[in-house]
Every structure is written in C-alpha cells, then in structure tokens.
Amino acid sequence: MDLPRNFTIRESSHRIHNPFTSEKLAALGQALHLAPGTRALDLASGSGEMLCTWAHAHGITGTGVDISTEFTTGARLRAAELGVADQVVFIHGDAAGWVADEPVDLSACIGATWIGGGVAGTIDLLRRSLRPGGLLLIGEPYWRRAPLDQRIAEACHASSEDDFRLLPELIEQFGELGCDVVEMVLADQDSWDRYQAAQWLNIRRWLDRNPDDELAAELRAELSEEPARYARYQREYLGWGVFALMDR
C-alpha cells in the first residue's frame, strides 16, 4: 500500500503536496483561531506540514493518516524537527474510510477528496470523526474559468469539465450538503507556480541521478512537455482552495 513512485519523485522536496504555500497555510491556521489543545484528524496528511506547523504555532494535537510510506516518514521527522512529536501522530494507512476513535474538533482532507469518492462522500467521511459544532476542512480544485473544450479540461488533468465546478458553484455545493462556509484561503497563480515548478526541478535532479531507471523515459517526456502545458492551461484555468465548513 503506497503511492506510485513517480508521484513521490515529483514531490520529493515538497512539504505541502498541494498548490498552497507555507504562508497561506499559516494564514489559514490564524484565521481559524485555533485554541491550544484542539484535536485534529488529517486524512491523506502527506508530509504532515499542516498538523506539525499548527501544533507548533497553536498548540493543537492530532493524527495524520496517509498511504505514502515516504511522506509519513517525512511527517514524523518534521514533527521531531519542530518539537511537536508528543502532540501529533502519523499513521501509514489508507485514509479512505478512516474514522477517529474519539470525536475530534477539526476533521480535514486537504486536496484528496478521492478518498471519499468526491466532495460529498469525503464530507460524509469527515463528519464521522467530528464532534458537534466542529470544523471540517476541505481542499479542492475549482475552475477559475470554464474550459472551452474537452482538450483544455484534459490538459488540466480533468476527465471532463464536470470534474470541477466554478468557485461560486463549489461554495453552493457545500451549502447543498448542509454546510456553512465559514472561512476560505485560496491558492493564487504564484502558489501554483511554487507547487508545479518544484516538481520540474525534482524530476530533473532525479533524472540526472537515475538515467537508466525504468521510469526515466516517462519522466523525461513529462519534463519536456509539462511546463508549457501548465503555463498554457492549468495556470490559467484551474484554481484551488481550502474551505472551512460547519454543519448547519
């Protein structure tokens, strides 16, 4: 049980595996007015940056669950680096279907709503761990502008335009699912650049070290094509944000 190796190669230097900078992550933590002792569950927690930095800055406690052995190891090292290893725990496991043993104050899935089969299913999953009156956090893409055709949608790693919604429509969807949107912090194009461009450097450095690896041809082709495709399509059409929700 693990992520594909090409994914971990692309994001080997990332602390945040989404188009979100450390500054935006800190701004979100401040905006939520997190109290010391807040109990959090982070499903698909990646390298643990949210839990670790919020434990350090706000005194929260929490558990992260992620399918990647490499990212989980990195999360534990990050917790030790920040001196919060006694506040946060990281588990290597499948976050799909994961429910906390005791209700938490904050239940999150940042950028991996595939674990619940989409936004609706992931909100239902997060609710199963949440105390009444707690906060849900969802990180999700949205269209900055609607793609003109199927080709553009696929260039943004969508199977069709229907994979994502425009921002107002996504916010309306949260309401239809019984949630109030109480805060949001959105990625901007610079956030996307920091996330995507770092992948290109990771790939190039890996290729230089591993020219004969079985993945080398695939990643060489990706590095040759991806920067222009990203600049032409994804940077212009695709947004991303983290939305704080409370059940009505």
What type of residue is 102? E
CA-nearest of 230, 209, 154 to 9 is 209
- The single residue listed with the structure tokens 């279907």 is 97
Which tokens belong to 145? Answer: 């502008």
Render 76-98 in DSSP notation, one character per residue: HHHHHHTT-TTTEEEEES--TT-
3-class SS at 162?
A: helix
Give the integer Cα–Cα distance in Å for 88 and 130.
17
Which tokens belong to 63? Answer: 């558990």
Domain spans of the chain?
A: 5-247
Give the integer Cα–Cα distance in Å for 145 and 107.
29
- Give the H/E segment covering residue 169: helix 167-176
Give the integer Cα–Cα distance in Å for 213 and 207.
8
* Residue 1: per-residue pLDDT: 76
Looking only at the bridges linking them, the beta strands covering 238-247 and 130-143 are antiparallel
What type of residue is 140? E
Instruction: Give the CATH number of domain 5-247; options: 3.90.1150.10, 3.40.50.150, 1.20.1290.10, 3.40.50.450.
Output: 3.40.50.150
What is the pLDDT tens value at each position of the chain, 248 positions in all? Answer: 789 999 999 999 999 999 999 999 999 999 999 999 999 999 999 999 999 999 999 999 999 999 999 999 999 999 999 999 999 999 999 999 999 999 999 999 999 999 999 999 999 999 999 999 999 999 999 999 999 999 999 999 999 999 999 999 999 999 999 999 999 999 999 999 999 999 999 999 999 999 999 999 999 999 999 999 999 999 999 999 999 999 99
Give the integer Cα–Cα distance in Å for 31 and 173.
22
Which tokens belong to 194? Answer: 């920091």
CA distances from 126 to 42, 44, 72, 136, 153 (A): 9, 12, 20, 7, 28
Neighbours of 146 (CB within 10 A): 12
Residues written for the chain:
248
Q: Do residues 12 and 209 make contact, with C-beta atoms less than 8 angstroms apart?
A: no
